[in-house]
Structure formats: C-alpha cells, structure tokens
Amino acid sequence: MIEFRSVRKEYADGTVAVGDLSLVVPERSTTVLLGSSGCGKTTLLRMVNRMVDPTSGTVLVDGRDVKEQDRVRLRRSIGYVLQAGGLMPHRSVLDNVATVPRLEGATRRAAHARAAELLEVVGLDPALGRRYPGQLSGGQQQRVGVARALGADPDVLLMDEPFGAVDPIVRADLQAELRRLQAELGKTVLFVTHDVDEALRLGDEVVVLRSGGVVAQQGTPAELVAAPADDFVADFLGLRSRQRQLSVREQDGRRLVVDADGRPVGVLEGSLEGSLEGSLEGSLEGSLEGSLEGSLEGEVPGA
C-alpha cells in the first residue's frame, strides 16, 4: 500500500507542482493518476521512490515513511518504468534486465537466468536478450523496461506514461499485456497517464488530478463515468463529447452502439449471438447444408 499524507511540492521559483494532496493507493491493484501535463502526476509518482522529495508531508510505502529509508535501497525495492524506456544503450537487453539483481549482488549467471525468465514473462523471446536496446522496436523496448522493473520482484511498480511513445496498435497490445501480467502477479501498480481511455482500461482506481496537483475525484472507472464529481471531471473524461454519448441502434438485426454522430463504436453484447442464431435458422440452414454436401462429394473421390 502507498499512502500520500498531505504532500506538497513547491519548487524554488514558487511553482506548486503538488498542493497538499492526500491519497491512498490500495495494495495489489492498479491505481491510475490521470491528468493533463503539468498537473503534478509524475512528481507524485517520483515521490514514492524518492526521485523527488516533497516539500512537506509524508509518503508511506507499506506503512514506512520513505524519507527514513535509504534512497538507493528504496529504489531497488520498487519497480520503475518510464516513457522512453530509459534502457542503457551500451548494455545488452539481458544485462539491462539483470541490472537490479546485479546491483544487489547476484552472480552474473544467476542474474542472467532470471532476466531470461523475465523476458518470457513480458512476452519477449529470450533470444532477444543478446541484442542491444537500439536494435529493438519501441514496443519491445517498453517490454524490456517492464522486465527490468520486475527484476528484483518488487511489490510496488511505478509506471510513468510507459506506453506514451508507441503507436496506438502496439499501445493496445501492451495494455492488454499489462492487464494479463497484473492478473498473474498482483503488484501494487501506480500508473501515470494523460490518456483517458488508457486510464479507464487499466485502472482499478482512477485518480483525476487538476492542475497544481489537486485531486478532483477518485473512484473506479465506472464510478467516475457514472457520477463525475464536477464539470472539470466530466469535461476531462470527455463525457460530454459526442464520442462518449452513446445510444443503441438496430442494424441488420444487430444492436449497434453508436455515438452522438451516429458513428458505430461497437455491438451490444448478446445481440451478435441473437442475430447469428436468427440467420442460422434462416438463410444459413439451407446454404450450409448445400455447400457441405457439395464440397464433401467433391472431395471424397479425390481422397
């Protein structure tokens, strides 16, 4: 569990990045900090592993004040994934993933064996371990970044817009992969993003921040969408945009979900099966039988 107790971060020039914020990040679940750039979400994240020290207030990880812990030890015990990967270009992928175990004194052999396992955990071919980060695609580099963060088997995983720099298809792939991983590993994940869809897709809890590091609303994605606390949250989530105002329309026996412009965004569950059954009874019955008979007859003599 991570707890922020009225933390505040003010820089020397008087800018307030985070203003008196209190927040509890529940254990073994994914909490997303959602906000536009400059809302202090990254600052908050970096307070957890003491990359940033708050001006006032305390941050607790598993009930212990991080300020009383050695920075280096603390950072090694917390996984950290950042947007651009941040891999060391002069070390092989395997060496990169083995970084923390090596720092902790594991032998090269043991650290490499563990690293190869981790590559598989994040869905990479261990054979990629011999390559260098520059030889991988953006999506692969992000996976390596996740593998490195898992190196010391941390309970807490900090992710700073980890999928921000990859194209939408790879991003969706990585998001799905993260959900699978999280279901398997059950880490306490603190995830920073400005992408509303990503937040709703990944978060068990979503914390919407307004500028100056103030919590606008915290809740499950469903709670936020069902009952936005105020206009800011509703606008930020885009609930009033035409893309999020959905209605159902019948089309060819299916119930389509369409947005305010009539653009389809999906099919209502259940209606697909219904229509398939309907069509099976009707047109398919005849044509399937017909074609089956036809093709079977044709194939038998040849066999």
With CB under 8 A as the contact rule, the residue among 47, 59, 87, 106 that binds other proteins is 87
Binding segment for other proteins (CB under 8 A), chosen from 9-17, 55-63, 68-76, 293-301, is 68-76
**What tokens were used for 42?**
């990254």
Nearest to 213 by CA among 18, 77, 7, 1: 18
90 is a contact residue toward other proteins (CB under 8 A):
yes
- Which candidate, 233, 185, 231, 244, places its Cα nearest to that of 209? 233
* DSSP for residue 62: T
293 burial (CB, 10 Å; 0-12 / 13-18 / 19+) is: exposed
Specify whether the CB–CB gap between 147 and 201 falls below 8 A.
no
Minimum CB separation from other proteins for residue 9, in Å? 17
Q: Is 124 in the site for other proteins (CB under 8 A)?
A: yes
**Counting contacts by CB under 8 A, is residue 131 touching other proteins?**
yes
The one-letter amino acid code at 266 reads G
CB of 273 to other proteins, least distance (A): 22
Is 146 a binding residue for other proteins by CB under 8 A? The answer is no
Distance of closest approach, residue 81 Cβ to other proteins, in angstroms: 9
Q: Does 139 engage in binding with other proteins (CB under 8 A)?
A: yes
By CB under 8 A, is residue 288 in contact with other proteins? no
148 binds other proteins per the rule CB under 8 A: yes
Give 66 or 237: the residue with its C-beta nearer to other proteins: 66
Among 84, 200, 215, 239, binds other proteins (CB under 8 A): 84
Consecutive H or E run containing 102 = helix 99-103
**In this structure, which long-range contacts are made by residues 60-65, counting pairs with CB atoms below 8 Å and at least 24 apart in sequence?**
60/1, 60/2, 60/3, 60/5, 61/1, 61/2, 61/156, 62/1, 62/155, 63/1, 63/3
Please tell me whether residue 43 binds other proteins under the rule CB under 8 A. no
Please, which of residues 227-246 interact with other proteins by CB under 8 A?
Answer: none
Under rule CB under 8 A, residue 80 binds other proteins: yes
Quote the tokens at residue 56. Answer: 């006032």
If one asks whether residue 128 binds other proteins (CB under 8 A), the answer comes out as: yes
- Phi, psi dihedral angles at 194 (to 5 degrees): -110, 5
Nearest Cα neighbor of 126 from 138, 151, 144 is 144
Asked if 73 touches other proteins (CB under 8 A), the answer is yes
Residue 127 φ then ψ, to 5°? -65, -20
Q: Total residues at the site for other proteins (CB under 8 A)?
A: 45
Q: Is 257 in the site for other proteins (CB under 8 A)?
A: no
Q: Let me know: does 124 contact 144? Beta carbons within 8 Å.
A: yes
> Interface with other proteins includes 143 (CB under 8 A)?
yes
Sketch the per residue contact string, 150 through 169, with other proteins: x for CB under 8 A, - otherwise. Answer: -x------------------
CB of residue 174 vs other proteins: minimum separation in angstroms?
A: 9
Contact residues toward other proteins (CB under 8 A) are: 46, 49, 51, 72-77, 80, 82, 84-90, 92, 99-100, 103, 123-125, 127-128, 130-137, 139-140, 143, 148-149, 151, 173, 176-177, 180
